[in-house]
Amino acid sequence: MTGQHSNREEEGKLVFLRMAEKHGLALIPGSLDINESGMDFQVAFAEDEEGQRWVLRKPRRSDVWERAENESKVLQVVRKHLPAAVPEWRIVTPELIAYPLLSGEPIASVDPAAGGYAWQVPPDRLPEGFFDSLAAAMVALHGIDHGEAVKAGVRFRSPAEARAAFAANIEEAKAHFSVPAKLDARWNAWLGTDSYWPEHSVLHHGDLHPPHILVDRDQRVTGLIDWTEAEIADPGKDFVILYALFGREGLQDLLRRYEQAGGRTWPRMSDHIAEQWAAYPALVAKFALTTGKEADLDMARGMIANWNVDLVDWNAD
């Protein structure tokens, strides 16, 4: 089995090298490493003959390329406004996306063996500068003019459309999976309670989990990568994974920094974000239905069946 795995890995590297060469990018074969942790892209890192490090992304499915086209439009807009760097795509095709590696390192990487993240710094020891610089980047992103973004082709959802999209996603999950009554009741209460919901949309990243947040040696945010889920829609979405990682107290602290930096909030923003986390299994279900892979469907079934609703404070009044 080890030999077969090694052969597949070498074949995968050859595919990347050939695709890069096809598009005029000469890479040093021995410098190429593949990262398989991404659900949407197979990713490789390599060095060219001039010493420049590159990121290579190969879409795993046709639907990924459709969203990557939106990502390309998003990047053209956000790079002009953010205090953090974003990728500059040099090769953009359905078979390969490539860009020079940004400076900085992810604040954490996926650790498949441990089933979680491998952090640069333990999350409870992250410095003030990390949270301040993250809040500043989010405020700059969320403040980008909608007209400019829409003109560039970025997807737009009004607050009502974003709410309807959450509802449709949940209905699709319920149509294909068995949802426990308590979880179903919580989803319905959230969808039906106006006070949770914002009256504005923002241009959001959509997938702000630690491997997509680059930092310098002082753990200040220097870059944001992997913008596949970006669109103008619900402003709570960029806080959901951060809430899952840092809890209600950590979320309140980040929202305070966000508001102080000029971010727009509303009275039940933290509650709304908590409810989005409670609805996270519906997003996983949508992903599984998109890929159609039995392993992904099993993951969605297990998450829905075992999701601990009581882990998140529920104020559905």
Q: What is the DSSP string of 59-104?
A: ESSHHHHHHHHHHHHHHHHHTTT-SSB----SEE-SS-EEEEPPSS
Is 95 in contact with 65 (CB distance < 8 Å)?
no
Percent of the chain with pLDDT over 70: 95
Tokens of 296: 């992904």
How many helices (DSSP H) and strands (DSSP E) are in the chain? Answer: 10, 12
| pLDDT confidence of residue 239 | 98
Q: Where are the domains of the chain?
A: 2-100, 105-311
| pLDDT confidence of residue 53 | 97
| pLDDT confidence of residue 61 | 83
Is 229 in contact with 207 (CB distance < 8 Å)?
yes
Dihedral sign for Cα atoms in the order 244, 238, 41, 126:
negative
Q: Quick one: CATH architecture of 2-100? A: 2-Layer Sandwich (3.30)
| pLDDT confidence of residue 172 | 97
**Model pLDDT for residues 67-119, shown as the tens digit of each residue:** 889 999 999 999 999 999 999 999 999 999 999 999 999 999 988 777 789 99
Q: Quick one: CATH architecture of 105-311? A: Alpha-Beta Complex (3.90)
Beta bridge partners of 105: 215
**Model pLDDT for residues 194-211, shown as the tens digit of each residue:** 999 999 999 999 999 999
**Pick from 262, 256, 203: nearest CA to 233:** 203
Give CA–CA dist 37/285, Å, rounded: 19
Is the full-model pTM beyond 0.85?
Answer: yes
Range 2-25 average pLDDT: 81
Give CA–CA dist 271/315, Å, rounded: 7
| pLDDT confidence of residue 8 | 75
* CB contact set of 243 (below 8 Å; sequence gap of 6+): 250, 251, 270, 273, 274, 277
| Residue 246 amino acid letter | F
Q: Where are the alpha helices (DSSP H) in 177-308?
A: 181-192, 240-260, 269-278, 280-291, 294-306
Which residue numbers are catalytic? 207
| pLDDT confidence of residue 297 | 95
Q: Is 2 exposed, middle or buried (0-12, 13-18, 19+ CB in 10 A)?
A: exposed
| pLDDT confidence of residue 63 | 81
Angular region, 158: left φ>0, alpha ψ -120 to 50, beta rest: beta
* CB contact set of 168 (below 8 Å; sequence gap of 6+): none
| pLDDT confidence of residue 36 | 78
pLDDT band for 248, please (50, 70, 90 cuts): very high
For residue 298, CA distances in Å to 129, 268, 271 come to: 40, 34, 29
| pLDDT confidence of residue 9 | 75
| pLDDT confidence of residue 3 | 53
